Amino acid sequence: MGSKERIAKLKSELRKDILCAALAILKNDGRQSLSLRKIADRIEYSPPVIYSYFKNKEAILIALCELCYQQFNGCIEKNCRKLTNPEERLTAIVTTCWNFAIEEKEMYDLMWEVGSTCTDPFTQFKELGLFLNFLSETLKNLCGKKVCTEEYLFHKSQTAIAVMHGHICLNYTLSNADPKLRSRMLNETILYVMNLINDYNLTSRELNNHY
Amino acid sequence: MGSKERIAKLKSELRKDILCAALAILKNDGRQSLSLRKIADRIEYSPPVIYSYFKNKEAILIALCELCYQQFNGCIEKNCRKLTNPEERLTAIVTTCWNFAIEEKEMYDLMWEVGSTCTDPFTQFKELGLFLNFLSETLKNLCGKKVCTEEYLFHKSQTAIAVMHGHICLNYTLSNADPKLRSRMLNETILYVMNLINDYNLTSRELNNHY
Amino acid sequence: MGSKERIAKLKSELRKDILCAALAILKNDGRQSLSLRKIADRIEYSPPVIYSYFKNKEAILIALCELCYQQFNGCIEKNCRKLTNPEERLTAIVTTCWNFAIEEKEMYDLMWEVGSTCTDPFTQFKELGLFLNFLSETLKNLCGKKVCTEEYLFHKSQTAIAVMHGHICLNYTLSNADPKLRSRMLNETILYVMNLINDYNLTSRELNNHY
Amino acid sequence: MGSKERIAKLKSELRKDILCAALAILKNDGRQSLSLRKIADRIEYSPPVIYSYFKNKEAILIALCELCYQQFNGCIEKNCRKLTNPEERLTAIVTTCWNFAIEEKEMYDLMWEVGSTCTDPFTQFKELGLFLNFLSETLKNLCGKKVCTEEYLFHKSQTAIAVMHGHICLNYTLSNADPKLRSRMLNETILYVMNLINDYNLTSRELNNHY
DNA sequence: CATGAATGAGAATTCATTCAT
DNA sequence: AATGAATGAATTCTCATTCAT
């Protein structure tokens, strides 16, 4: 490896360090405590270096959000890709989302916070797009032989994300709920998401004209 | 009315003034601009008076959140109480939630933000409890003659809130969606919430063992 | 004096202190060094206090500029008001401007800098307006029995200010000029300003149609 | 051409690039935004290279000022050299100055800002010296057969510059003035400058003893 | 009871300049 | 000869909170 490459790698690594530091602060101290100064302190550099790698704080948040989506998508891939049965896979997807939201609440919240400020998060964040595709593909398999349009599948996937998100937020607020209830909520969420396809048959009269 | 009462009344009114000022700032300038100094400026008192009525900023946010729930519940009551047909009423409830979230985004967001930090928002916030009861009552009527436990109805109501919230958040992120899509999303949300009861029959096998 | 007044006076004095500190920094360290932090250091308060008295730095500069105009107008009044002969008075006015610009270069520069950012400095700054009136009145007397419109006099006064300013700036750039030359420049400036009225007769053909 | 010369030429060109970049930033983003970092970005070199060509920022400003004088003098030469009638030429000179000050305010301001910090801008900046000569030559022609000393002509030329500058600054501050007034101000400025020579006869008594 | 006054801590950002390589 | 990397020192400004009065 030439010296140029080594330097480029070092440079790229400092960028990573910044994001890792930001992520660590996010996890440990919370979203509100995430300041440029703290990031600089943690990487043991002076604050201005950050501006060599990111235009401003917003750019950091977006990149951090991307990192979160990567980690999230990594979990999904790891836990669900191997499952071939569509119902099993969908179950695993919902469960993975659910657990990620609980274990990495700060990350999960940031993903929605930043996503809300973007015009089109599903295309802006590559890994979110991949997740949407994966979900869409899974739903397609769930449909079986029935033919579905791409548009329909994407829409259903987004709806699935919405339903999961709603339950996850509810779960956040019911923080003193006992584990049993939580477990039941997760099960129900799985069912609802599953039924997004199943009940397609039931409500086809209403939805039919949209597609 | 003795002077003691008059003073108590004045005191109570100043408390209201503080919250109204906070609400006005929230609506006009957004969540981030909500500072004690600005509240004090608006009520034309000095910042320290606020500490006579609220322990700290967090306490204000909680009380403000209560005010938001009151306004929200007011909308619900006004738009939906009069409707006796359960399907019509439920449709009105979902629609009212949806519109409130769009028109009063700052309030809606605060309600979930603060709600997430509380241990049990459904009991802590009286008006949220009332809304839950109202929803529960509506779902009960929707069930018709079928007998449902209170617990079941509350749970379904919370689920309905979750489903609505998920769709509302999705709607936030799809900021460049056209009005048609938005209108369809609302219709679907209504259907999903309605089906929380209808599909009870369908999925009773799975859910039955919980109750 | 009641305690309320005393406090109000103290408050008003701190405002003055801030401006005096700003003025001192302006004189000693120059325009570029005039920062809020330095002002705070000098009055031995913390930086945020300044925001109790001024909205932002721009507001300080405007107020400081006002102070400069006051001091400037004070010099004019002190040196020139007593002179009744219009030629003597005009001579004194130009001389006072000239010396002020030399002795208080930083103040003089600030006056033009801030003046340039205002839409109408002659009305915004009371003392500048007073100076313009005083100049106008002096030029009127210089005209003798000839009748002049107010508009004409104000215009000529502004022109006088322009001519003086031009010479003052030239004098700034000729910093290594010997005292004799400087003294001659001042004398010429006086003559040019005086001739703004005298040559009215000469150039009346050209200017006549304007009024 | 040897490699030494080629290198020298390259070096000289980079110097030009730096100044051109600085000029572009000055025009587009304004005086306050003119930073070394921005210059480096624009020439696509790293900041430290600038220090190979200029001692510090001040040195850049001086060289940039020189460039401004070149452009300014270019306008003068282009617009006025061809005119042989002295009155026409003087009119063109004043008009060109006036328009340059309006159209290239940032450059014009910088020229005076830097000029004020130099000990003798008329000799330090070659093109300013050329302009002074040109003005002087024009005034000489305006004098007709009357014999004038060089010193006298230079002095009058500087005075002309002062008078123009004064009116230009006044024009800056009267930003809400209507086009008519502005146009009249320009006409008057031309008259005043013209009269610097004409009224020589009138005020010769007073000025005579200086020469 | 109410508050004016004050502040410490902290925010994002920009800049000219240096230095080892 | 050129630079990537880095920084110290600034900048303006906001905020929640305290305390003597």
Same domain, B99 and B199: yes
Q: What is the DSSP string of A184-204?
A: HHHHHHHHHHHHHHHHHHHTH
- C136-173 per-position pLDDT tens digit: 999 999 887 777 888 889 999 999 999 999 999 999 99
Nearest to A71 by CA among A154, A131, A160, A17: A131
Q: D195 and C203 in contact by Cβ < 8 A?
A: yes
- Mean pLDDT per 10-residue interval, chain D, length 211 residues: 58 86 93 92 90 92 95 97 94 97 96 90 94 95 83 92 96 86 92 77 38 30
Nearest to C163 by CA among D111, D191, D200: D191
Query: How many C-alpha atoms does B60 have within 13 Å on its Cβ side?
Result: 27
How many angstroms separate the most distant Cα atoms in chain D?
64
Residue numbers 16-75 of B with CB closer than 7 A to any atom of strand F: 33-38, 47-48, 51, 56-57
Task: Please report whether residue B45 resides in a domain.
Answer: yes
Whole-angstrom Cα distance, residue D173 to residue D166?
11
Q: What are A41's two structure tokens?
A: 């302190």
Q: For strand E, which nucleotides have at least one atom less than 7 Å from a protein CB?
A: 1-20
Our CA dihedral for B151, B156, B159, B160, rounded to 10 degrees, sits at -140
- Is the model's pLDDT at C126 over the cut of 60? yes
Q: C174 and D115 in contact by Cβ < 8 A?
A: no
| B60, B85 contact by CB (below 8 A) | no
Same domain, D191 and D123: yes
Same domain, A192 and A110: yes
Q: Is the CB of C52 under 7 A from strand E?
A: yes
Q: Which residue among D158, D161, D206 sits closest to C191, beta carbon to beta carbon? A: D206
Same domain, B6 and B77: no
For residue B42, give its domain range: 1-54
CA of B135 vs chain A CAs: smallest distance (Å): 16
Q: How many angstroms is C1' of F9 away from CA of D35?
A: 16
CB neighbours of A165 closer than 8 A, spacing ≥ 6?
A112, B165, B166, B169, B170
- Is the model's pLDDT at B143 over the cut of 60? yes
- Is the model's pLDDT at A180 over the cut of 50? yes
Q: C173 and D199 in contact by Cβ < 8 A?
A: no
Task: Please report whether residue B120 resides in a domain.
Answer: yes
Q: What is the predicted pLDDT for the residue at A10? A: 58
Whole-angstrom Cα distance, residue A184 to residue B208?
12
Q: Which residue among D119, D165, D202 sits closest to C175, beta carbon to beta carbon? A: D119
Chains touching D (at least 3 CB pairs under 8 A) are C
Q: How many angstroms is C1' of F7 away from CA of C44?
A: 29
Same domain, C138 and C159: yes
Q: A191 and B206 in contact by Cβ < 8 A?
A: yes
Task: Please report whether residue C59 resides in a domain.
Answer: no
Q: Is the CB of B122 under 7 A from strand E?
A: no
Same domain, A178 and A80: yes
Q: How confident is the model at residue A209 (pLDDT cuts 50, 70, 90)?
A: very low
Q: How confident is the model at residue B98 (pLDDT cuts 50, 70, 90)?
A: very high
Chains touching C (at least 3 CB pairs under 8 A) are D
Q: What is the predicted pLDDT for the residue at A121? A: 93
Q: What are B48's two structure tokens?
A: 């320290």
Q: Which residue of A has its CA nearest to B32?
A: A32
Residue numbers 117-176 of A with CB closer than 7 A to any atom of strand E: none
Task: Please report whether residue D194 resides in a domain.
Answer: yes
CB neighbours of D73 closer than 8 A, spacing ≥ 6?
D127, D128, D130, D131
Q: What is the predicted pLDDT for the residue at D146? A: 76
Q: Which residue among B120, B159, B176 sits closest to A176, beta carbon to beta carbon? A: B120
Mutate to test the interface with C, among D165, D180, D198, D210 (most CBs of C within 10 A): D165
CATH of the domain at A92: 1.10.357.10
Q: B165 and A161 in contact by Cβ < 8 A?
A: no
Q: What is the predicted pLDDT for the residue at D84? A: 92
Q: Is the CB of A48 under 7 A from strand F?
A: yes
Q: How many angstroms is C1' of F7 away from CA of C85?
A: 64
Task: Please report whether residue D39 resides in a domain.
Answer: yes
Task: Please report whether residue A154 resides in a domain.
Answer: yes
**Domain count for chain C:** 2
Task: Please report whether residue A59 resides in a domain.
Answer: no
- Is the model's pLDDT at B200 over the cut of 50? no
| D128, D165 contact by CB (below 8 A) | no
Same domain, D173 and D102: yes
Q: How many angstroms is C1' of F2 away from CA of D32?
A: 28
Same domain, B89 and B178: yes
Task: Please report whether residue A60 resides in a domain.
Answer: no
Q: Which residues of chain B have a CB within 8 Å of the CB of A163?
A: 162-163, 166, 192
Instruction: Find where tokens 């409500």 sit.
Output: A203
Q: Give Cα separations from C69 to C59, C134, C138 (angstroms).
A: 15, 14, 19
Q: Which residue among A165, A188, A202 sits closest to B166, beta carbon to beta carbon? A: A165
- D173-203 per-position pLDDT tens digit: 987 778 888 899 999 999 999 988 865 444 4
Same domain, C102 and C148: yes
- Is the model's pLDDT at C92 over the cut of 50? yes
Q: Mean pLDDT, chain B, as a whole number? A: 87
Nearest to C163 by CA among C193, C203, C200, C130: C193
Q: How confident is the model at residue C78 (pLDDT cuts 50, 70, 90)?
A: very high
CATH of the domain at D41: 1.10.10.60
Picking from A54, A75, A92, the residue at the C-terminal end of a domain is A54
- C25-53 per-position pLDDT tens digit: 999 999 988 999 999 999 989 888 998 89
Q: How many angstroms is C1' of E9 away from CA of A37?
A: 12
Picking from C54, C75, C98, the residue at the C-terminal end of a domain is C54
- Is the model's pLDDT at C23 over the cut of 90? yes
Q: Is B209 helix (H, G, I), strand (E, B) or coil?
A: coil
Q: Which residue among A166, A199, A207 sits closest to B166, beta carbon to beta carbon? A: A166
Q: Which amino acid is at C18?
A: I
Same domain, C79 and C18: no
Q: Is the CB of D2 under 7 A from strand E?
A: no
Whole-angstrom Cα distance, residue C5 to residue C99?
39
Q: Mean pLDDT, chain A, as a whole number? A: 87
Q: Give Cα separations from A183 to A98, A99, A172, A188, B150 (angstroms).
A: 10, 11, 13, 9, 20
Same domain, D45 and D75: no
Same domain, D98 and D187: yes
